[in-house]
Amino acid sequence: MAEKKQPTVDEAIEAVAEEAEAGLSGFKEALAKAHEAMEAARKTMQEAYGKAREVGHEASEQTRVYMEDAKKYLGEAKEKMSVMASKGRAQADVLYGKSKEQYDALSVKAKELYGKAKDRMAEVDFKEKGDQVLEYIRKNPGKAVLIALAAGFLVGYVTRPRD
């Protein structure tokens, strides 16, 4: 069998140095690529931040405009409600005044009618009226019985229970 030749110490060191150099150059390349990727990420983040800041500023401006519009429209609604309330209050005052006038007029009229009825009742002599009724019954007994019968029938008809 053929023997394998062992490398010399210098050759072994040279081989290790070459491998280290190759590994180091690969490490440097990977590090450079990582640096490029980090730089691209930083650049992208800065652009995104700028865009987000710009969009956020636009959104806040638009929101401010909408809020001002809402404030204006709420103010208009408040004014219209105030006008409606004052009109309603004025109408209620007018209606109250008219109904008070009518109540006062009716009260005066009712007092007058009560006074007249009271005076008439005071003028009527019930004893004399009772005597007149008895005298009529004595003069017209048939008519009195028929009138009493009709009145009894009418009262009975009105007060009977209905189904």
Both 129 and 91 in one domain: the answer is: no
Both 72 and 145 in one domain: the answer is: no
Summarised one tens digit per residue, pLDDT across range 69-110 is 888 888 888 888 888 888 888 888 888 888 899 999 999 999
> Is 114 within a domain?
no
> Is 39 within a domain?
yes
**Rounded Cα–Cα distance for residues 62 and 66 (Å):** 6
> Is 83 within a domain?
yes
Both 80 and 134 in one domain: the answer is: no
Both 70 and 143 in one domain: the answer is: no
> Is 102 within a domain?
no
- Looking at residue 4, its pLDDT comes to 67
Instruction: Please provide the DSSP assignment of 118-141 as one string.
Output: HHHHHH--HHHHHHHHHHHHHH-H
> Is 135 within a domain?
yes
Q: What is the DSSP letter of 77?
A: H
Both 29 and 80 in one domain: the answer is: yes
Report the number of distinct structural domains present in the chain.
2
Domain end point (choices 78, 96, 114): 96
Range of the domain at 59: 10-96
> Is 119 within a domain?
no
Question: How many Cα atoms are found within 13 Å in the side-chain-facing hemisphere of 22?
Answer: 6
Both 70 and 140 in one domain: the answer is: no
Both 15 and 72 in one domain: the answer is: yes
> Is 151 within a domain?
yes
Of 20, 24, 22, the C-alpha closest to 12 is: 20
52, 62, 64, 103 from 55: Cα distances, Å: 5, 10, 14, 70
60, 69, 95, 98, 144 from 63: Cα distances, Å: 5, 10, 47, 52, 97
**Rounded Cα–Cα distance for residues 163 and 161 (Å):** 7
Summarised one tens digit per residue, pLDDT across range 9-55 is 777 777 777 777 777 777 778 877 887 888 888 888 888 877 877 88
Both 129 and 92 in one domain: the answer is: no
> Is 112 within a domain?
no
Place 156 in a pLDDT band, splitting at 50, 70 and 90: very high
